[in-house]
């Protein structure tokens, strides 16, 4: 039985996601992904055409907390997008370590409290 024929037979029983992808060319969806990456690269260029990214206030804090700069005044007007991504990754790892430590402390606390009763 042909796939399209099976789709027609099932009709409304097919999830809407499958109905939306019916007849979609996979090459088109890959092009959309590539175009999205090109949009990101174009956003990382400043008005003068020099590669750079103007960080937001939160991203400036991330750069400080991650240790890329010592003071807020040291952060230049534009930084590379890779620097911002590296700072976010560093903070994600640090946050993971804190969450692991808190989980271990919580487990030990529950064991101690459980043995007290």
Per-residue pLDDT of 30-41, as tens digits, reads 555 554 555 555
Q: Hey, where are the domains in the chain? A: 1-43, 48-117
The residue among 74 and 28 whose pLDDT is bigger is 74
Per-residue pLDDT of 48-93, as tens digits, reads 444 688 989 999 999 999 998 999 888 898 999 999 999 999 999 9
pLDDT for position 109? 97
Name the token pair of 79.
């930084």
pTM over 0.85? The answer is no
User: Which is nearest to 68 in space by CA: 56, 80, 52?
Assistant: 80
């Amino acid at each position: 039985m042909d796939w399209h024929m099976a789709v027609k037979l099932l009709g409304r029983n097919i999830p809407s996601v499958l109905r939306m992808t019916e007849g979609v060319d996979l090459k088109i969806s890959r092009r959309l992904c590539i175009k999205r990456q090109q949009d990101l690269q174009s956003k990382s260029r400043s008005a003068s055409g020099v590669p750079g990214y103007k960080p937001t206030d939160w991203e400036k804090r991330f750069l400080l907390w991650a240790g890329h700069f010592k003071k807020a005044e040291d952060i230049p007007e534009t930084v590379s997008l890779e620097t911002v991504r590296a700072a976010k990754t560093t903070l994600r790892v640090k946050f993971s370590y804190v969450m692991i430590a808190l989980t271990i402390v919580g487990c030990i606390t529950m064991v101690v409290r459980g043995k007290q009763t």
